[in-house]
């Protein structure tokens, strides 16, 4: 099985020892080697599964998920990843529980983790809250483990926070690498991360932030385009600038969608809410000012409506590299005439890219599984080898 | 293990090669050999489990369920079937997701299926909708598989639609075969599928339709009895007629419950809503006319109340073959003086048949498992043999 | 592996043959040997897991849970226990089903149990109801098994009823045994099971009742302290008296918290509702008198507020044995200045005991697993030995 050996050899060349017994919060907290290791393990796990070799490394154990926002894709990706490794997904429905803030986070985190090997959390609703909450949970189980309460240390996987959406963006990047023939081929490629109009309000910032924070690591020319006032978090822009400098890439801002699309190799047109408005919303929420939230929502929808021209049209697509830029989206997209009258993308563009879009999504379960795998095994190369040797079939026969 | 060999020999004599990589929508879309294969595999899986031999053929993989109607029995049957084969049941709760119609069905179906081996759907609420929706989902994942998005092709299992309830009716028939000493002994047996009074409204048509569509395959004399106006879908009656002709059975309609019961070997008294009313309800629903739906409901309840005499009484039971017809019901039944004042069946009749009724239900998990099994394995006989050879115990010891 | 042999030797010395194929309702329905066997198996399973040896004894099978009250801790404990043994936890959400009283309990219990090896139930809300309901379920599946409907007999595990909370109290006791160096060292120890103030209303009686019913078995001096009118069920007090007599322990009642704490080795300060009020509440509920329930609630809160001085303070803790009594709680606790203004315990006391409290909770999954294990295997010593020999790793490597 020469292919698996290639993945193992790739891993041999990387330094990712700090991922062992560690968590995954933000891609820019990881070294380039650590990201490469994650992608390599994702590919290796996929390779084994495609060859009907079971990658079940846990004979028992729970994979806990906490979704503080509706979710289908990520919920199933997490469940798939857990199942692929042998963990039983167990959702903590906060409506049926008492998990909250302060002391109780520490307590509940430990109470549910006696047999948990991973905790996946989506908490993207309020600026300054989600990532913080995840750290509270991770710190809680980390001390639980150190204090001898937990027999194992559950790994925290960020399934989307207010800052980053690492499992999505890592899947996006792995998809691009597969489409362009490897990560080295992404160097110098122009990617347009642009705002697009949507009739809905308050979409999270974590995708555009995650994309500019990650693709600048890969030597890409990352263009962030949005109308005036639709800024993302300034500290993430700083991260993108720094990353671009280090990787030999570029980070450029513009308020012109057409400028961003011109000669782009990859386009990612997607709606999001202005950072400042999201901050204001969090304040209103904390103050319990729900009338204020309603007013803000109306203002934002009116403001959005001024930018209906920010749409990924056939015309715009023609201006990309050879008219054939790779179109990305985290899905579901707002498609003109399908899910709404005016939206993020014209139906014919979306249709043409349907297969690649679905493939893009298909990497997410493997990326999550790789994050878990790398935090659980000191010598993942050895485990991959042993899985091949064990040769247990995923489907009997 | 001679018994297992008998099942394998039976399978050897049947042609069911088209079930491989295929779905299960309606029993009358399957050949008689295919139905026999399903029952035989159900029996074989049960035999192995009863002998403490694990039938776990999947080391990982998801079994997705979508319930568009409340469900306990079918939910647990599907979960049991998945678990028996090693799949992890994962429910797609549409309240927490965005799955809908048109484009989105295709998308969500693929998004949740990256590691899914089966999708089970119950959608029986609206005439002309449920089966159609299932086909949309099946087509979506079928193209997903062909386009290289999905690594495996999830099988669709109809857990009840507007037309048929194949897992229920296949379990009913397998139960009858066990009670009467084999399918060949069902030939010529009279089965009374009759309407019965219930104080509730709008019970699905899929059970009576499924029963007349299936038992006419088995050479039975199938009598469909109901008050004026309580017709089932005309196209299913056509199916029943055609089936009866081909199998050497009979399909007879009557508006007299006593005529149906007379000398019957099997009786299946059960409430359902008139087809025409259900069609009207679907139209009102589509038009958003909820007042109209309320009015319709009241009309139907009043109409039902005219037929309280349609009850499976001791007196009626006495008129069946030797007074001992096998009483069937998909459960829960409306039992006089127990779950309602007047209902489908007298308490003493129900009590006498409690054990057989529960046994009837016990076949459902195995029928579902058999449907999955046959769509996953090209040579199921070989797999059954290998499971016996592997000899892994379900309970360790 | 000498440690495992010690557990096995301990089991060899005990008579627990009646636990095979049996249920677990109340600790005082079990012999002392049976309780010791449960704790010993819990320790043995923990030992194996800590040594990375899989205790998966089921290759398939469901573990059904029914929670008639919100639950996080017990829900995850039950799911963990099932998973540890290889069972798939499957929750029966009564909102999505029709399980009710009378006939239907019998039916639904059988319908969900075709592949169930255990049923865990929490039903603690109404005096005279919960335990009764559990017996109905257990009797239903017991006849189902005897009548040939169920291929296996699901074990019932009481996850908290109106009378006892055996999985909690068994975990509490096992924790104490670990802290004090063995069950024999609990003999003669003074444990103060005392009421404490909480701003909430209607907390179940099952914990104080379970504690006085269990710790009196262990030769402890059990002091039950509460304000006038906060009595527990009189029949459980009788149980406690009888137990104390037989074990050489003591059962003492007092209405002084300080008297209870004086020189105590273990303290368990916790709020509960007066038994008589809970009985009244059940009557009002049965009569559908919701205004009456509201009135009762207000009365009880006002009555509670007269006893804010019933708090586990630093001052009180100083009066315990060497000022270092072991502080127990089933969690979550009402902590002064943290989860409420005035509550059951001062924050500094709670903080000091956080680690032991979390460890106390960590025994629950193992206690539940042991209850299942002992009801499933005639010769658990042999199974434990074989698990060690099999040497399958929980985490691959």
Q: What is the DSSP letter of A336?
A: B
Q: Is B178 on the interface with C (CB under 8 A)?
A: no
Q: Is A141 on the interface with C (CB under 8 A)?
A: no
Q: Is A361 on the interface with B (CB under 8 A)?
A: yes
Q: Is C147 on the interface with B (CB under 8 A)?
A: yes
Q: How would DSSP label each residue in B70-102? A: --SHHHHHHHHHHHHHT-EEEE--GGGS---ST
Structure tokens belonging to residue B353: 């048949």
Residue given tokens 């001791």 in the structure block: B314
- CB atoms A58 and C84 under 8 Å: no
Residue given tokens 């997209």 in the structure block: A333
pLDDT < 50 stretches in chain B: 100-102
**Tens-place pLDDT, residues A328-366:** 999 999 999 998 999 999 999 999 999 999 999 999 999
ipTM, two decimals: 0.95
CA-based nearest distance B71→chain C, Å: 6
pLDDT-derived band at A96, boundaries 50, 70, 90: low
Q: Which of C102, C115, C150 sits opposite B84 (nearest CB)?
A: C115
**Rounded CA separation C16/C35 (Å):** 9
Nearest to C335 by CA among C319, C323, C320, C351: C351
CA-based nearest distance C251→chain A, Å: 32
Q: Is C12 on the interface with B (CB under 8 A)?
A: no
Q: What is the pLDDT of residue C221?
A: 98
- CB atoms B339 and C115 under 8 Å: no
- CB atoms A88 and C88 under 8 Å: yes
Q: Is C352 on the interface with A (CB under 8 A)?
A: no
**Residue B356: closest CA among chain C residues belongs to which residue?**
C149
**Rounded CA separation A285/A283 (Å):** 5
Structure tokens belonging to residue C214: 């269990």
Count CB atoms within 10 A of the CB of residue A245: 12
Q: What separation, in Å, do the N-terminal and C-terminal C-alpha atoms of chain C show?
A: 20
Cα B140 from chain centre: 23
> H-helix or E-strand containing C356?
helix C354-362
Q: How far is CA A135 from CA A104, A112, A156, C98, in A?
A: 14, 16, 9, 41
Q: Which chain C residues are closer than 8 Å to A115 by Cβ?
A: 49, 80, 83-84, 365
**C121-135 as b/e, with b when 16 or more CB fall inside 10 Å?**
bbbbbbbebbbebbb
Q: What is the DSSP letter of C183?
A: G
User: Percent of chain B, pLDDT > 90?
Assistant: 88
- CB atoms A358 and B110 under 8 Å: yes
pLDDT(A1) > 70: no
**Tens-place pLDDT, residues C359-394:** 999 999 999 999 999 999 999 999 999 999 999 999
Count CB atoms within 10 A of the CB of residue A72: 20
Contact between B256 and B312 (Cβ < 8 Å): no
- CB atoms C50 and A377 under 8 Å: no
**Rounded CA separation B10/A31 (Å):** 60
- CB atoms A361 and B112 under 8 Å: no
Nearest to C191 by CA among C256, C243, C241, C263: C263
Q: Which of C72, C365, C396 sits opposite A98 (nearest CB)?
A: C72
**Rounded CA separation A294/A300 (Å):** 10
User: Percent of chain C, pLDDT > 90?
Assistant: 88
Sheet holding B326-327, edge to edge: B250-254, B221-225, B190-195, B266-270, B326-327
Q: How far is CA A114 from CA A100, A119, A159, A219, C359, in A?
A: 19, 12, 21, 42, 10
Q: What is the pLDDT of residue A100?
A: 46
Show the CA angle centred on residue B5, arms to residues A397 and B7, nearest 5°: 85
**Rounded CA separation B347/B313 (Å):** 9
**Rounded CA separation C273/C204 (Å):** 7
pLDDT(C10) > 70: yes
Q: Which of B59, B62, B104 sits opposite A79 (nearest CB)?
A: B62
Contacts of residue C287, Cβ cutoff 8 Å, sequence gap at least 6: none
Q: What is the pLDDT of residue B101?
A: 42
Q: What is the pLDDT of residue B99?
A: 52
Q: Which of C56, C335, C365 sits opposite A59 (nearest CB)?
A: C56
Q: Which chains touch C (3 or more CB pairs under 8 A)?
A: A, B
Q: Which chain A residues are closer than 8 Å to B65 by Cβ?
A: none
Q: Which of C90, C114, C117 sits opposite B362 (nearest CB)?
A: C114
Q: Is B132 on the interface with C (CB under 8 A)?
A: no
Q: Which ranges in chain B belong to alpha helices (H)? A: 2-12, 32-50, 73-85, 103-111, 130-146, 166-180, 206-215, 234-247, 257-261, 275-286, 290-305, 314-318, 347-352, 354-362, 364-376, 380-390
Q: What is the pLDDT of residue A102?
A: 44
> H-helix or E-strand containing C121?
strand C116-122
**A114-150 as b/e, with b when 16 or more CB fall inside 10 Å?**
bbbbbbbbbbbbbbebbbebbbebbebbbbbbeeebb
pLDDT(A101) > 80: no
Phi, psi of A396 (to 5 degrees): -55, 150
CA-based nearest distance C139→chain B, Å: 15
CA atoms within 13 A on the CB side of C24: 34
Interface mutation target, options A66, A367, A397, chain B, most CBs of B under 10 Å? A397
In the predicted model, what is the mean pLDDT of residues C278-302?
90
A22-36, A67-81, A140-154: the lowest-pLDDT one: A67-81
pLDDT(A60) > 90: yes
Residues 193-252 of B with CB under 8 A from C: none
**Residue B381: closest CA among chain A residues belongs to which residue?**
A397
B–C CB contacts, 8 A cutoff, strictly below: 105
Percent helix, strand, coil in chain C, to 5, is 50, 15, 35
Across all residues in chain A, what is the average pLDDT?
A: 95
In the predicted model, what is the mean pLDDT of residues C82-93?
96
Q: Which pairing describes strands C221-225 and C250-254: parallel, antiparallel, or unpaired?
A: parallel
Contact between B190 and B58 (Cβ < 8 Å): no
Q: What is the number of residues in chain A?
A: 397
Q: Is C13 on the interface with B (CB under 8 A)?
A: no
Q: How would DSSP label each residue in A78-138? A: HHHHHHHHT-EEEE--GGGS---STHHHHHHHHHT-TTEEEEEEEE-SSTTTHHHHHHHHH
**Rounded CA separation B214/B293 (Å):** 32
pLDDT-derived band at A69, boundaries 50, 70, 90: confident
Q: Which chain A residues are closer than 8 Å to B104 by Cβ?
A: 332, 339
**Rounded CA separation A108/A89 (Å):** 17
Q: Which chain C residues are closer than 8 Å to B338 by Cβ?
A: 102-103
Count CB atoms within 10 A of the CB of residue A322: 8
Q: What separation, in Å, do the N-terminal and C-terminal C-alpha atoms of chain B show?
A: 20
pLDDT(A305) > 80: yes
pLDDT-derived band at C104, boundaries 50, 70, 90: confident
pLDDT-derived band at C150, boundaries 50, 70, 90: very high
Q: What is the DSSP letter of C307?
A: T
Q: What is the pLDDT of residue B97?
A: 55
Q: Which of C70, C355, C397 sits opposite A96 (nearest CB)?
A: C70
**Tens-place pLDDT, residues A273-289:** 998 888 898 899 889 99
In the predicted model, what is the mean pLDDT of residues C228-244?
97
**Rounded CA separation A287/A293 (Å):** 10
**Rounded CA separation C24/C363 (Å):** 17
**Cis? peptide before C52, omega within 30° of 0:** no
In the predicted model, what is the mean pLDDT of residues A146-152?
97
Query: How buried is residue A258: exposed, middle or buried, by Cβ count under 10 Å (0-12/13-18/19+)?
Result: middle
**Tens-place pLDDT, residues B330-366:** 999 999 999 899 999 999 999 999 999 999 999 999 9
Q: Which chain C residues are closer than 8 Å to A147 by Cβ?
A: 355, 358
pLDDT(A71) > 60: yes
Nearest to B214 by CA among B163, B270, B278, B277: B163
Whole-model pTM?
0.97
**A214-226 as b/e, with b when 16 or more CB fall inside 10 Å?**
bbbbbbbbbbbbb
Contact between A114 and A60 (Cβ < 8 Å): no
Residue given tokens 């570029």 in the structure block: A250
Q: Which pairing describes strands A62-67 and A116-123: parallel, antiparallel, or unpaired?
A: parallel
**Rounded CA separation B392/B371 (Å):** 22
Q: What is the pLDDT of residue B69?
A: 80
pLDDT-derived band at A127, boundaries 50, 70, 90: confident
- Residue-range domains of chain C with CATH: 2-163+364-390 (3.40.50.1370), 167-361 (3.40.50.1370)
Q: What is the pLDDT of residue A370?
A: 98
Contacts of residue C48, Cβ cutoff 8 Å, sequence gap at least 6: C4, C54, C55, C384, C387, C388
Q: What is the pLDDT of residue A229?
A: 94
Q: Is B383 on the interface with A (CB under 8 A)?
A: yes
């Amino acid at each position: 099985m020469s292919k698996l050996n290639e993945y193992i050899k790739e891993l041999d060349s990387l330094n990712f020892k700090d991922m062992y017994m560690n968590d995954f919060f933000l891609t820019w907290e990881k070294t380039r080697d650590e990201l490469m290791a994650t992608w390599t393990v994702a590919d290796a796990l996929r390779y084994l599964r495609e060859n009907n070799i079971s990658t079940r490394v846990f004979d028992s154990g729970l994979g806990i998920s906490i979704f503080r926002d509706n979710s289908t894709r990520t919920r199933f990706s997490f469940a798939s990843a857990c199942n692929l490794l042998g963990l039983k997904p167990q959702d903590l429905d906060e409506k049926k529980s008492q998990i909250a803030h302060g002391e109780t986070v520490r307590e509940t985190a430990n109470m549910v983790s006696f047999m948990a090997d991973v905790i996946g959390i989506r908490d993207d609703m309020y600026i300054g809250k989600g990532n913080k909450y995840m750290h509270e949970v991770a710190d809680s189980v980390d001390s639980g483990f150190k204090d001898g309460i937990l027999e194992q240390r559950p790994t925290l996987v960020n399934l989307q926070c207010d800052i980053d959406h690492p499992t999505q963006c890592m899947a996006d990047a792995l998809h691009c690498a597969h489409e362009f023939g490897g990560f080295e081929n992404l160097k110098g490629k122009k990617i347009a991360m642009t705002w697009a109009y949507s009739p809905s309000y308050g979409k999270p910032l974590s995708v555009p932030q995650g994309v500019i924070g990650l693709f600048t690591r890969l030597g890409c020319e990352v263009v962030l385009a949005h109308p005036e006032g639709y800024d993302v978090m300034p500290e993430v822009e700083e991260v993108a600038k720094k990353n671009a400098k280090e990787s030999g890439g570029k980070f450029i801002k513009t308020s012109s969608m057409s400028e961003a699309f011109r000669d782009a190799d990859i386009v990612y047109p997607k709606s999001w809410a202005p950072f400042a408005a999201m901050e204001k919303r969090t304040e209103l929420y904390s103050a319990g000012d729900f009338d204020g939230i309603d007013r803000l929502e109306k203002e934002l929808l009116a403001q959005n409506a001024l930018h209906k021209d920010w749409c990924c049209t056939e015309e715009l697509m023609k201006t990309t590299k050879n008219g054939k830029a790779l179109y990305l989206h985290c899905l579901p997209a707002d498609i003109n005439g399908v899910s709404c009258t005016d939206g993020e993308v014209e139906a014919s563009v979306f249709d043409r890219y349907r297969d690649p879009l679905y493939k893009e999504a298909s990497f997410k379960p493997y990326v999550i599984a790789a994050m878990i795998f790398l935090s659980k095994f000191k010598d993942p190369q050895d485990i991959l080898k042993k899985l091949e040797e064990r040769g247990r079939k995923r489907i009997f026969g």
